[in-house]
Every structure is written in C-alpha cells, then in structure tokens.
C-alpha cells in the first residue's frame, strides 16, 4: 500500500539499524509517548534491533489506559439509565471499572452503542429526541477537535438531549510530571505525531530546554520510529536538547490552528486524574462554562463522585515506564484480555495488549 510499504522498507530499516548500532557511547533511555508507537515497536521487534545501550521505554501514551476508574464508573452509572443511549468507541467497552465494564451493563439491557465519531452520536440524538444520548469523549489532543465540534454543533442547533462525558488528557503536562518524578529516568522522548498534527510542537520547546531532554516528534511506522531514535541519539551524544520534527509529512510547527481555535472555544484546561498515576495539574480538558449544559457529569449529578482505584493492577508502573508488561506477575495469568485487571490489557493502544498479542510466548 502506498505510503505504508515505503516506511517498512527492509533495506532502509537495516541502514538505520546499522547507523544506530555504532552511535551510543553510554546507556540511553528513550520514551515513546504514543501507544500506537508502542504497538509498532513491539509488533516489529524494533527494540530488539537496537544496541543494548539504547532502551525504549513505554510511556502513558494510551488515553483509554489513563482514564481513571472514577470516570469509568460514572460511564457505567450513566449507561445504566433506561432513557440513555450511551455511545463510545469500541475499546472503552472492556475497560474495567470498580466492579464491571460497559459490556456488562450492555448485557443487562443498557443501550450502549459503538460509534466511529462523536458526530454519529449527535445524529442519534437528533433521531431519538425522547432519549438522552451521551458520548464518552476520551483521548489526547488528537480527538479533542472532533468532540469540540460535536458540542459546538449541539449548541448551534439547540440539541438539548446530547451531552459528553469528558476524559481528555494533555501530553505536555504528562511529560513534565514524568521528568519531575524521582522514580523515572528518561533521557529523551519520541513525541506523538498525531497529537502534534493538531497542536504543533512549540509547547514542547520549554520542556526540552528546562529538563535538558531532546524531544523528537515521530510517526508510527517502523522507519519513523528508527529515524526518531536516530535523531534523538544524535542530540544526546552531542549534548543538545531541542525539539525536532521527524514527522514532517504531517506535522507543522504551529499545528492545525483552526482546530486549536475550536478547542479553546469549547474546552478549558483543568486538572485531571490519570489512572495509576494520580492527579496532574492542568493536564486535561473540560467543557468551558458556555458549554456546561452539554456536560454529562453535571446533567446526571455525578460531579462529586469519588472512587479509589484497586491496587491489584500495576498499570501505573507500566504507564510511567517503571515496569514493562512482562515484568508484571499478573500478566497472562490473572490479567487476560477477556478478564483484564486494568485498561492496558484491553485498549487498542495499551502496552500490555501489545505484549500479549505479540510477545506472550516470551513470558510463557
């Protein structure tokens, strides 16, 4: 397929592997932020191609994985209402709450529907005026513009039976929290290309300077990852700490200005709980006061609900890059895709899901 096979060319991959193999003069740890990048690394064995002195660490780059139990339980409560049509992307349905998941609520009669866009949910609201239609708005900055547009359109068209349950998280505050933590040692970052397609990469420049880490905006194919690693190592070996753009075919420095404008109109920056990590200040998006009428938490009276996470899942350690999935004692035993202890085992971008699919035999 054009624009896919070019970035999986074996000869070019071999050339980059050879370049990288002779580069490190000491140990370096590089974290990829995006769960899609993690799946590419694990699926194609990119980490195994690198020299021992270069380690790839999987970060909190899966928005489904970092959605806290508290918000999952709120989704379960809303979805259980008889007058509600609850809409979500498919990978949220198996994410466990305190006691069950959305599939369980569906089996008990809840009207839960998988949609491919928040605009699909908005159309359902138009067609079902007697129902409350709620969309589970989960994601990094990548999906925020589409969710903002759905709310904006609902306001413009006065569709009052539509609302969203917001669980948006922001990447730069997460990077800052990781760098400020004493538990992690990260020498450089591969930033998520799709996030930067929306937001650009100017906001990463103060992070690179303040924490003296190179940040390379990177795509999702094997050659993207290897070139991103190579660019990051070039900086580390020469003592440079800049933001570079490997994913130039999609990302501009300023990003998508129109999308950003819509996000600022509909959302405001808020503190956000990250599953297994805790609260990170100014790391999330919530609906702005002008659009609060379309906030599902407010509509269903769930703003004050607080729920503690169970301690049996080590997702927090996985998401911070402190452990890899194969180092979790529950991986592949008590924690399985059909009965997960945490979101990283069932999300399409979860690190545990990637290891279970591509490296389960290594753990056996």
Please provide the DSSP assignment of 213-272 as one string. Answer: --EEEE-SSHHHHHHHHHHHHHHHHHT---EEES-TTT--TT--HHHHHHHHHHEEEEEE
Check residue 310 and give its pLDDT: 63
pLDDT band (50, 70, 90) for residue 364: very low
Query: What end-to-end distance do the CA atoms of the chain give, in Å?
Result: 35
Average pLDDT score, the chain: 94
Across residues 206-210, what is the average pLDDT?
97
Across residues 214-219, what is the average pLDDT?
98
Tell me whether residue 180 is exposed, middle or buried, using C-beta atoms within 10 angstroms of its C-beta: 0 to 12, 13 to 18, 19 or more.
exposed
pLDDT value at 253 more than 80: yes
Q: Which two tokens mark 155?
A: 């306001």
For residues 170 and 167, what is the distance between their CA atoms, to the nearest angstrom? 10
pLDDT tens digit string along 275-330?
A: 878 899 999 999 999 999 999 999 999 987 777 766 678 989 999 999 999 999 99
H or E segment to which residue 186 belongs: none
pLDDT value at 343 more than 80: yes
pLDDT value at 86 more than 90: yes
Check residue 1 and give its pLDDT: 53
Name the residue with tokens 């450089």.
188
- pTM reported for the whole predicted model: 0.94
pLDDT band (50, 70, 90) for residue 5: confident
pLDDT tens digit string along 50-71?
A: 999 999 999 998 999 999 999 9
What is the topology classification, in CATH, of domain 1-359?
A: Rossmann fold (3.40.50)
pLDDT value at 46 more than 60: yes
pLDDT value at 98 more than 70: yes
In 3D space, the residue among 41, 40, 42, 33 whose CA is nearest the CA of residue 63 turns out to be 33
Check residue 128 and give its pLDDT: 98
Name the residue with tokens 């709980």.
273
């Amino acid at each position: 397929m054009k624009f896919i096979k070019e970035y999986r060319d074996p000869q070019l991959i071999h050339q980059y592997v050879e370049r990288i193999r002779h580069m490190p003069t000491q140990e370096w740890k590089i974290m990829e932020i995006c769960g899609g990048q993690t799946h590419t690394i694990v699926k194609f064995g990119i980490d195994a191609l690198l020299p021992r002195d270069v380690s790839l660490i999987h970060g909190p780059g899966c928005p489904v994985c970092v959605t806290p139990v508290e918000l999952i339980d709120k989704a379960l409560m809303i979805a259980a209402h008889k007058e509600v049509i609850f809409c979500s992307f498919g990978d949220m349905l198996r994410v466990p709450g305190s006691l069950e998941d959305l599939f369980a609520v569906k089996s008990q009669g809840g009207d839960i529907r998988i949609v491919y866009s928040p605009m699909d949910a908005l159309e359902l609201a138009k067609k079902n005026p007697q129902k409350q239609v709620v969309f589970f708005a989960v994601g990094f900055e990548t999906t925020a513009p589409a969710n903002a547009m759905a709310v904006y359109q609902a306001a413009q068209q006065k569709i009052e039976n539509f609302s969203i349950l917001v669980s948006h998280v922001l990447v730069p505050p997460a990077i800052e929290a990781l760098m400020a933590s004493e538990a992690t040692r990260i020498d450089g970052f591969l930033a998520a290309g799709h996030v930067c397609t929306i937001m650009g990469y100017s906001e990463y420049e103060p992070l690179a300077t303040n924490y003296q880490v190179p940040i390379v905006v990177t795509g999702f194919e094997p050659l993207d990852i290897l070139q991103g690693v190579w660019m990051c190592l070039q900086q580390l070996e020469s003592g440079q700490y800049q933001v570079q753009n490997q994913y130039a075919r999609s990302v501009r420095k300023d990003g998508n200005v129109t999308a950003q404008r819509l996000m600022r109109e509909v959302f405001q920056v808020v503190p956000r709980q990250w599953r297994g990590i805790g609260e990170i200040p100014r790391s999330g998006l919530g609906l702005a006061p002008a659009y609060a009428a379309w906030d599902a938490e407010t509509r269903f009276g769930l703003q004050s609900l607080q729920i503690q996470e169970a301690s049996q899942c080590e997702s927090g350690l996985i998401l911070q890059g402190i452990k890899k999935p194969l180092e979790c004692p529950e991986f592949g035993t008590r924690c399985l895709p059909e009965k997960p202890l945490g979101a990283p085992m069932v999300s399409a971008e979860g690190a545990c899901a990637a290891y279970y699919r591509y490296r389960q035999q290594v753990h056996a």
